[in-house]
Amino acid sequence: MSPDFYWCHRRWASRTCGTLTMVAMLTACAGLGGGKESAPSIPQVQERFGSSATFSRMFDATPTQVCEAARRALLSQGYIVNKAEKEMVEGQKSFQPQSDRHVQMNIRVTCVPDSAQGKLSTGFVTALQDSFALKMASNSASLGVSMLGSVSVPVAAGHDSMIKIGSETVTADAFYDGFFDLMRRYLIVDIQPLGAAPSASRTFE
């Protein structure tokens, strides 16, 4: 084998190996880069719209009468009525299930007409439950210690504060069924004229 042929063979082999090595490195880098990139996470949708009548009922009464019945229903259960209008009522009540837990229930009732005469109405009710946790903020104090100088140590004395840890709309059917039944009881009393015999008002599901 001639020296020229041997030299050309080595030169071709080195170029080929170098090209293959470069391709392998680029492939590896592409693989590493693809591993770092991830598809953006999509939050799960909690709402599913449907024809469920959990939050609403139809009443054979005017919006003013329906909201007045809702106001009385809230007052009968110990709620503080923050707003009482002809077509909207809002109430609030606090609970203490544990010594370091606080729950606040906010109920809003919206009354809208469902007929041209205004004698048929729909009451929409939404209950929002907020949860709070009791947190203590400790204060630090400096104490003088011989040979060590001033040392800052936490002191248990401080002030307590409620930190909001959750908020959720109540979706239990039994909760709203009970509230609408209570509204109907007060609505029956409200729409009766003086001296008239009691008669049940109609409530439509």
Amino acid 5: pLDDT: 45
Residue ranges of the chain with per-residue pLDDT less than 70 = 1-39, 46, 51, 137-159, 191-205
Rounded Cα gap, residues 57 and 50, in angstroms: 15
Backbone Cα Rg of the chain: 36
pLDDT confidence of residue 144: 57
Render 80-117 in DSSP notation, one character per residue. EEEEE-SSEEEEEEEEEEETTEEEEEEEEEEEEE-STT
**Rounded to the nearest 5°, which phi and psi values hold at 188?**
-60, -45
CATH 3.20.20.70 applies to domain 56-142+151-193+200-204: no
Whole-angstrom Cα distance, residue 181 to residue 202?
12
The number of C-alpha atoms within 13 Å of 31 and in the hemisphere containing its C-beta is 6
Q: Give residue limits of the domains in the chain.
A: 56-142+151-193+200-204
Q: Which residues pair with residue 169 across a beta bridge?
A: 128
Give the up-direction half-sphere exposure of residue 123: CA atoms within 13 A in the CB hemisphere.
34
